Amino acid sequence: MSDLTIKNLKKGFDGTEIIKGIDLEIKDHEFVVFVGPSGCGKSTLLRLIAGLEEVTSGHIHLDGQDITDVAPAKRNLAMVFQTYALYPHMSVSKNMSFALSLAGADKAEIERKVKEAARILELEHLLERKPKALSGGQRQRVAIGRAIVRHPKVFLFDEPLSNLDAALRVQMRLELARLHKELNATMIYVTHDQVEAMTLADKVVVFNGGRVEQVGSPLELYHHPLNQFVAGFIGTPKMAFLGGSVKAADASGVTVALACGPEYCLPLDGSALKAGDRVTLGVRPEHLQIAAAEHSPFKVRLDVSEHLGADTYCYVRTESGELLTVRAPGDFAGQFGERASLIPDLAHCHLFDADGRTLPKPGASARAA
C-alpha cells in the first residue's frame, strides 16, 4: 500500500506564498501527473513531498503515517530529476547502488537489485560506464534505475523528459508507461507538457498559481473542464475562446450573442445567468466545421493552414479579429484570405461565466458544484 494524502499544504518563500493550501489524495499504484504553466507550484509541491523543502503549514501522510517532518531519506520515496543528477564520478552500477550501500545492504543483495534494475531498463552492457560516456536517454534510464533499486513506495519524477530531444521524449514516454505497468508502482510526475500528462496519467492534477484547478482522468479534464483555465490548458491545439453576452438564459439553455456576430442557443444550465452577462464560449478545433461563406452566420476569413497529413489545422479569423483553430480533413484545400463560415457542434461547446467557471449541463449542477 502506498496511499499519499496531502492536507491543506502551504509553502511560502520570503513571505510569498507559492503553494496556497492544497488538498490531494493519491491512491496506491496510481500514475498521477502534476501539470501547469511554469511557476504554478507543481515542482515545489513535488519537492515538498520529497522532503527537499520544508512545509510552511499542512500535512503529508504516506500510508496513514505523517511524514511532514521526516527526513527525505526516511520517507521511502525516490526522485528522478530533470537534470538526471547522476553522480558524475561513479559508474552506472555505483550510481544505482549508492543508496543501498549507504543503507548498509549486503553486497549480494545490492548486486542482485542493480542487475534486476539494469535488466528492466536495458542497461546491462553499460554498468561500468561513467555518466559522461552515456547519451541523454541512457542517463535518464540510469536516473530511473537509481530510483528502482530502492523499491520506493512512491516514485517522483520532476520533468524527467524535458532535456531530451523530441523523438527520444516520445520513446521514453512509452517506456515510462510500460515501467509503471511492470513495477505496478505509485508514480507522481511533474510536467508542463500537457501531452505527457494526457498520455501517461491515470489522474491529472492541473495547477495554476499555487492552487489545484482540477483533478481528474485525462479525458474527464478534456471533456468536462471545470473552468476556462483547465479548458485552455488541456488539449492541443488549444480550445478557442470567443467573447459574447447572454441574450436569454434559463435552466435548460442559454442564448449567447457572440461578439463576432452569430447567436447560438446552447443546451446548458443558465439559471445563474441573466441577460446581458458577459460569457466566453469555448470550442475545440474538432468541434468546428468549415463551410462555404453563405452556409452559416459565423463568418470567418481563412488564415494559414498546417497540413499534417491525416489532419489539417486551419487557422481562421473572425470578423471581430479573434483567431481560432479548426481541425479540417487532411486534404483541405482552403486558401489564405478566402472567405468561409464555421458551424460549431453546439453539444460540445463550453460556456464560461465572467469568473471563468464552466456552466453545467442541465440537471448536472449538483455534480459541478
> Where do contacts with other proteins occur on this chain (CB under 8 A)?
50-52, 72-74, 77-79, 81-83, 85-89, 98-99, 102-103, 146, 150
Residue with smaller CB distance to other proteins, 62 or 254: 62
Strands, E assignment, 96-181: 154-158
H helix and E strand count, the chain: 9, 20
Residue with smaller CB distance to other proteins, 51 or 262: 51
Q: How far is CA 115 from CA 40, 149, 254, 348, in A?
A: 39, 9, 62, 51
- We find the least distance from the C-beta atom of residue 90 to other proteins, in angstroms, to be 8
Residue with smaller CB distance to other proteins, 86 or 205: 86
Residue with smaller CB distance to other proteins, 151 or 307: 151
Residue with smaller CB distance to other proteins, 52 or 323: 52
Closest CA relative to residue 37, chosen from 173, 232, 170 = 232
Cell numbers found for residue 284? 475545440
Residue with smaller CB distance to other proteins, 190 or 316: 190
Cα three-residue angle 146-50-119, rounded to 5 degrees: 20
- We find the least distance from the C-beta atom of residue 18 to other proteins, in angstroms, to be 17
- We find the least distance from the C-beta atom of residue 310 to other proteins, in angstroms, to be 40
Phi, then psi, of 343 in degrees rounded to 5? -120, 105
User: Please, what's the b/e burial string for 207-242 (b: 16 or more CB within 10 A of its CB; e: otherwise)?
Assistant: bbebebbbbbebeebbebbbbbbbbbbbbeebbbbb
CA 107: distance to chain centroid?
40
- We find the least distance from the C-beta atom of residue 191 to other proteins, in angstroms, to be 17
